[in-house]
Amino acid sequence: MTVSSTLRDAAFRWIADDPDPATRAELQDVVARALGGEPGRAEELADRMAGPLEFGTAGLRGPVRAGPNGMNVAVVVRTTAGVAAWLTAHGHAGGAVVVGRDARHGSEAFAAAAAEVLTAAGFAVKTLPEPLPTPLVAYAVKQLGAVAGIQITASHNPPADNGYKLYDGTGGQIVPPSDGEIERAISAAPAAVSVPRSPGAEVIDPRAGYLTEVAALPRGTARDVRIAATALHGVGAETLRTAFERAGFTDVHLVAEQSTPDPGFPTVAFPNPEEPGATDLLLDLASTVDADLAVALDPDADRCALGVREPGGTWRMLRGDETGVLLGAHILSTLDRTVTPDPLVATTIVSSSMLGEIAKAQGARYAETLTGFKWLVRAGEGLVFAYEEALGLCVNPSFVRDKDGIAAAVLAAGLAATLKAEGRTIPEVLDELFRRHGVHLTDQVSLRVTDLAVRGEIMARLRAAPPTSLAGTAVTLEDLLPDADVLRLTGEGLRVVVRPSGTEPKLKAYLQAAQPPSEDLAAARESTSARLVALRADVEQLLS
């Protein structure tokens, strides 16, 4: 590939408009090498200039690098100018905006740039004092009555990435049509070098109020539980430790190698508790200290994974659906119905439907939404619990309208302590739920792609020629367009949901096999597991 004059001129214009000398020099180097014919550099330049990064309901995510198709100060400045214009257009000029950050590469500079743009635009900007968990921004927006909140984070993405997450005045993530309005406002923003920026943001620390609220979450009085925990090199370790202590859980052991924020994530191949190997150090520690519960946060601490010891003594991490139904059942069974007489629990269309069975048995309302907490927190009045299978848990919607890994961990610690006092375990409780509400097993098939167009091609093929049976069971197709690019295949005791990921270059298929309640749990689990294995094989073939 050679560098066209159009590509060269676009790169030179971006360099001239970039206010950051470091990324100006970075892109100049790429241009020089590309023009010099260095192998692969022309393709790299084309990719960097292929932007801008798309602003969706999850905000921005991308590699930290120079150019419009990356996360850098220039992109953050123009994005924030667009957000400021959008807020002003909706009557929020001069309102408070909370700005926080994690500890990834570039986060400090990006948060500072966002705060300066908003301050210059006349907003009352409140910045957090250091890298802190994402739920604290969601909490501060609601507590302060702010008109928006921004967290610089890429959550559990690879180390090279960073991102920009936006909350609206409800304290929840934005939903359509706000994303489209903001994207158009970003497109209309001037070059980054011309966007006014001013210092003067007020530093606030919302931890005291947040921790007071979290400390009140555990049900019951039992506190005797030993916990092993990890922050996976993210920003959650100290807030998690303090939250446990404030709630009365003092026997806590952190994975030392992963407790200090490190944007390189040196001990894990991928900083996501769902990924194989990511929690190996945690489970080793849990075994060594003879823990009762293992807890893994993702790097920005909005997700929580639980680990438990099986009857044979081995440790394993629970799937997101197992944790979701476990904590959902716990909340419903301990809820004060005089305070919340008509509770609502919610999950997404890709998560286990078992929560619906539990809600029915408890006399609670149940809702399924499209994927993402932006929809879950808007599921309806009286929401007391929401979860998504990707380790997202909201056990505290009254003060955080988003997933909150720290709050979920504290609630789970209370459950583990209560069960320990009763001589029971979490695996035993999960078995009881399966006996009472039916075995529901879930799995996922993820197809990672290098060309995003492949995802659309596969979705189009499935729409044109859907399968008529899976795992030997007749299935029917439901297409959720235009509301969402989602296909749902259902049959007796089977469900498959296929969708492009909103945050990763993947096409995902979410599988469920279920059967009615049975006293013979071992046989029910075995037959359901066999159906799930057959379903997975068919879906893998379908997506190949």
Marked catalytic residue, from 107, 155, 259, 353:
155
Supply the pLDDT for residue 297.
98
Rounded to whole angstroms, the Cα distance separating 513 from 539 reads: 13
pLDDT at 1 over 90: no
Instruction: Work out the number of other CB atoms within 10 angstroms of the CB of residue 268.
Output: 21
pLDDT at 51 over 90: no
Rounded to whole angstroms, the Cα distance separating 511 from 533 reads: 10
Distances (CA, A) of 378 to 86, 173, 342, 373: 21, 10, 16, 8
Instruction: Please give the mean pLDDT across all residues of the chain.
Output: 96
pLDDT at 504 over 80: no
Rounded to whole angstroms, the Cα distance separating 302 from 321 reads: 16
Q: What confidence tens digit (pLDDT) does each residue in 155-194 have?
A: 999 999 999 999 999 999 999 999 999 999 999 999 999 9
Q: Average pLDDT in the 215-235 region? A: 97
Q: Using pLDDT thresholds of 50, 70 and 90, give the confidence band for residue 450.
A: confident
Q: Using pLDDT thresholds of 50, 70 and 90, give the confidence band for residue 502.
A: confident
Give me 485's structure tokens: 């690019």
pLDDT at 197 over 90: yes
Share of the chain above pLDDT 90, in %: 96
pLDDT at 335 over 90: yes
Catalytic, 155? Answer: yes
pLDDT at 449 over 90: no
pLDDT at 108 over 90: yes
Q: Average pLDDT in the 246-254 region? A: 98
Rounded to whole angstroms, the Cα distance separating 353 from 440 reads: 8
Q: Average pLDDT in the 122-150 region? A: 98
Rounded to whole angstroms, the Cα distance separating 507 from 456 reads: 9
Distances (CA, A) of 108 to 174, 277, 315, 369: 23, 29, 37, 34
Rounded to whole angstroms, the Cα distance separating 540 from 74 reads: 41
The residues, ordered by sequence, that sit 6+ positions from 484 with a Cβ below 8 Å of its Cβ are: 370, 371, 499
Whole-structure pTM value: 0.95
**Strands, E assignment, 389-462:** 392-394, 439-448
Q: What confidence tens digit (pLDDT) does each residue in 345-361 have?
A: 999 999 999 999 999 99
Spell out the alpha helix ranges (H) of 260-341.
280-289, 320-334
Q: What confidence tens digit (pLDDT) does each residue in 6-48 have?
A: 999 999 999 999 999 999 999 999 999 999 999 999 999 999 9
First-to-last CA distance in the chain?
30
pLDDT at 509 over 90: yes
